[in-house]
Amino acid sequence: MSIDRTTQLGSIVISNDAVAMLAGGVVMECYGVVGMASQKLLKDGFAELLKRDNYSRGVVVKKNEEGYEIDLYVILSYGVKLSEVVASIQEKVKYTLEKTLEQSFTRVNVYVQGIKVMK
């Protein structure tokens, strides 16, 4: 399940991993985000903090009837207003993905997996 597009010059196939890496990069630029969390809690243990080069594991891309849906699993910084940070993440990710990929993203679901106290 990837994004397929055919042009007059040939076909373009964008994998879900590429979409996940793009979304993960956008999320890491948002204020208040400490890192991405694994969505597979049973396999990977308790919401471990992932390194920057591995944040695609905290992103799930799904296709539905209307377009694409993306799930983001994040760890936020202590002391930020969660609703504002989550709204910012949703807006930035949706805008960037739709502008870059020229594809409709119907939902951007953000799951806060933890809060980290920064010293």
Residues 61-89 pLDDT 10s = 998 888 899 999 999 999 999 999 999 99
80-93 exposure pattern, b = at least 16 Cβ within 10 A, e = fewer: beeeebbebbbebb
Name the CATH code of domain 16-116 (choices 3.30.70.1350, 3.30.70.920, 3.40.50.620, 3.40.50.10470).
3.30.70.1350
The predicted structure's pLDDT at residue 37: 85
User: In this structure, what are the phi and psi dihedrals at residue 94, rounded to the nearest 5 degrees?
Assistant: -60, -45
19, burial (CB in 10 Å: exposed 0-12, middle 13-18, buried 19+):
buried
The predicted structure's pLDDT at residue 42: 45
CB 112 within 8 A of CB 77: no
Instruction: Enter the pTM of the model.
Output: 0.83
